Structure 1
Amino acid sequence: MSEPSSYLVCASQRSGSTLLVESLRATTVAGNPEEYFQYLPSTSRSPQPRQWFEGITDESVLSLLAPLEQGIVDTRTSEQWRDQLRSLGKTPNGVWGGKLMWNQVPLVLDRAAGLRDRSGEGLRAALDDILGPGLTFVHVFRGDVVAQAVSMWRAVQTQVWRDDATPPNLHDGAEYHADGIAHLVRILSEQDRQWRWWFEAEGLDHVDVSFDDLVRNPQATVAKVLIELGLDPQLAPPPPLKRQSDGRSREWVERYREEAAEKGLPL
C-alpha cells in the first residue's frame, strides 16, 4: 500500500458528495472531510437560502425562502483560519480530507490572499498554500442536473441538507416553483462546467465519482476512492446516510421537464 495522501472533494451541491465524504470519514483513517470553505467571513455561516437567489426579484420565489440572519463576523486571520482548518481535517495518520464547491472558490482565494509568502496566484496556488502540495482531487458529479436542482430547491426551502435516519417528510412545507428550480439548474450546471474546465486547464489528474455510481453501489465506489488515496479499500463502510429523494421529488423533476420544453427553461 502506498503512502496515503490528503485529498479534496470537488463538487456542487446535491451531487452526492456528502454521502462520499461521510463514508470516508467513517473509515477513521481518511481524514475528517467537511465543507470547510463554505463559511462566509461576514456571517460565519454558509450561504443562506436567499443568498443563492441574489439578483432574483420574483417575490413568488423569494417568499418561499427564509429571511437573512445577520450572523457573526469571523475575525480570524488567514493564518489562524488555515491552521485550524488543517488541524480539523486530519486523522492521526496524517491524512487530510475536505470538500470544496465551485461557488466557494472566491472565499478560498480571498482567504489565501491574506497569507504571507504566497507561492502564486489562482486556485491551484491558493490550495497549495492552504493545504500543502500533493493533494488528490476527487470530482463528484451528477449527470441529471434537473434532479440535482430539484433536490436543492427543496433543501433551500426546508434548510434540511442531509438525512441520517428518517425518510423525507412529504409535508415538509416545500413548494414547487419552476423558476426557482431553473435558477438552480443554471448555477449547478455552471459549477460542474467550471470544475471540468479547471482540471483540464491545470492538467490535473483526478478521480471521477458519479452520483449514479454512489447510489448504485456506495461501498464499491468509496473503495475505489480509498485505493486512489493509498488506503485499504476493505475499510469502505455501509452507507452512513439515507438518500433524501422520494416520489415527490421525482414528480417535480417530470413536471419541470415538461414545463422546460414548453417555456424554454434550462435542462
Structure 2
Amino acid sequence: MKPTISYTIWFSQRNGSTLLCEALKSTGIAGKPGEWVEIPPSNTLLEFYQANDYLDLQNKLWLQGTTPNGVFGLKANAPRKENDSIMWELAQIPGAGSTTLAHSEIWENAFPHGKHIFLTRRNKVRQAVSWWKAIVTRQWHLVKGEEKQLFNDNLREQYNFEAIRHLFIEISLRESKIQAFLEDGNIVPLTIVYEDFIKEYTHTIRKVITFLGITQAEYPIHEPYYEPLSDEVSEEWVERFRKELQKDWKNVIW
C-alpha cells in the first residue's frame, strides 16, 4: 500500500529515538517507525529485503513501516555526504530519474508526501557519556519493569576520555549533516528535544500526531516503554569528562 503520509525521524544515538518510536507505534495510527534502511554493511537493501527490483524494494519498505491508515514512519541517521550506498540504492527507485539528485529529492521519491522530525538532545556531554556507557555495558535499553543489570566497580575503570570525546564530536557532526540535508531540501522539520520529551511525554506524542496531519481524535498512548539508564556512574563520567575537556582552558565554561 502506498502511504498517504510518510515521515522520517532524524536522530543520533542516545537521544530518545527508540522511546519515541515505541510511543508512536503504540497509537496504532502513526506508522511503525523503525530503522528500515539501516542494514549490515555486507548487504545491499535489495539483498536484505530479498526484493526482485527497486520498485519491489520500495513496496517492501512501505510494508515494514505503514499502519492500515496509510501512515509510514522510519527513523534514520544522516546519510554520508559522499558515496552513501543507501542513498545510491534509493536513487534506483523508479521516479528518481538520476543518482545526481540532491539527497532530499531522492528521499522524497522513495518516501513520498514526506514530513521530517529532527530529534536532538541539548546536553551533548551527557549524550556522549550515555553512548559510551551503552557500548561498554552492551545495555542500550531498559524495558520498564525489568531489573537493571548490576555492574561492579570495574565499570568505573572503563571511563575513556578519548572515546567519549570522539562520540561528543561525532554527535555534533551527525546533527550538522542532518541540518545540511534539511536545508538542502528547504525542509522545516518538527524539532523534538529529548529533555523536553522526557518531561512532556504524552504532549509530545500528540504534537507529532498533529504535525503529521492525522485527524483521528482518539487513540491510545502507552506508558513509556523504556526507563532511564543514567546512574551515579553516568554522573561521575559527566563530571570527569567536562573537567578533563577544559583542563587547559583559560576560560572554563562549565
How does the TM-score come out when normalised to structure 2?
Answer: 0.82
Task: Check if 1:244 corresponds to 2:229.
Answer: yes
Q: Structure 1: give runs of 5+ residues left out of the alignment.
A: 46-72
Alpha-carbon offset, residue 170 of structure 1: 4.3
Measure, in 2, the Cα distance between the counterparts of 1:256 and 1:113.
42
Measure, in 2, the Cα distance between the counterparts of 1:233 and 1:143.
32
Alpha-carbon offset, residue 41 of structure 1: 4.3
Alpha-carbon offset, residue 4 of structure 1: 7.2
Relative distance call for 1:251 and 1:44 in structure 2 (3 A) is farther
Mapping 1:72-151, distance limit 5 Å: 74=48, 76=51, 77-102=53-78, 106-120=84-98, 121-132=101-112, 134-151=113-130
Task: Check if 1:257 corresponds to 2:233.
Answer: no
Equivalent AA in structure 2 for residue 148 of structure 1? Q
Relative distance call for 1:41 and 1:110 in structure 2 (3 A) is farther
Alpha-carbon offset, residue 156 of structure 1: 2.0
Alpha-carbon offset, residue 43 of structure 1: 5.1
Measure, in 2, the Cα distance between the counterparts of 1:233 and 1:207.
20
Q: 2:212 aligns with which of 206, 224, 229?
A: 229
Q: Is the 8 A contact 1:9 1:137 kept in 2?
A: yes
Equivalent AA in structure 1 for residue 132 of structure 2? W
Q: Is the 8 A contact 1:89 1:96 kept in 2?
A: yes
Alpha-carbon offset, residue 38 of structure 1: 1.6
Measure, in 1, the Cα distance between the counterparts of 2:32 and 2:241.
37
SS at match of 1:8: strand
Task: Check if 1:158 corresponds to 2:134.
Answer: no
Q: Is the 8 A contact 2:25 2:31 kept in 1?
A: yes
Q: Is the 8 A contact 2:35 2:74 kept in 1?
A: yes
Alpha-carbon offset, residue 129 of structure 1: 2.4
Alpha-carbon offset, residue 92 of structure 1: 0.6
Aligned to 2:37: 37
Residues 34-43 or 107-116, more deviating:
107-116
Q: Is the 8 A contact 1:108 1:123 kept in 2?
A: no
Q: 2:198 aligns with which of 206, 215, 219?
A: 215
Measure, in 2, the Cα distance between the counterparts of 1:123 and 1:212.
29
Aligned to 1:55: none
Measure, in 2, the Cα distance between the counterparts of 1:110 and 1:15.
27
Residue deviations 1:89-131 (CA, integer Å, cap 9, x gap): 0001110011011156724312224334424412112212222
Q: Is the 8 A contact 1:4 1:230 kept in 2?
A: no
| Count of aligned pairs | 235
Q: Is the 8 A contact 1:164 1:242 kept in 2?
A: yes
Alpha-carbon offset, residue 221 of structure 1: 1.0
Q: Is the 8 A contact 1:4 1:229 kept in 2?
A: no
Measure, in 1, the Cα distance between the counterparts of 2:217 and 2:167.
35
Residues 196-205 or 183-192, more deviating:
196-205
SS at match of 2:171: helix
Residue deviations 1:68-99 (CA, integer Å, cap 9, x gap): xxxxx746554443321110100011100110
Q: Structure 2: give runs of 5+ residues left out of the alignment.
A: none
Mapping 1:154-233, distance limit 5 Å: 154-165=133-144, 166-171=146-151, 174=155, 175-231=158-214, 232=216
Relative distance call for 1:14 and 1:153 in structure 2 (3 A) is same
Residues 123-132 or 157-166, more deviating:
157-166
Alpha-carbon offset, residue 187 of structure 1: 0.7
SS at match of 1:32: coil
Mapping 1:8-27, distance limit 5 Å: 8-27=8-27
Aligned to 1:69: none
Equivalent AA in structure 1 for residue 149 of structure 2? N
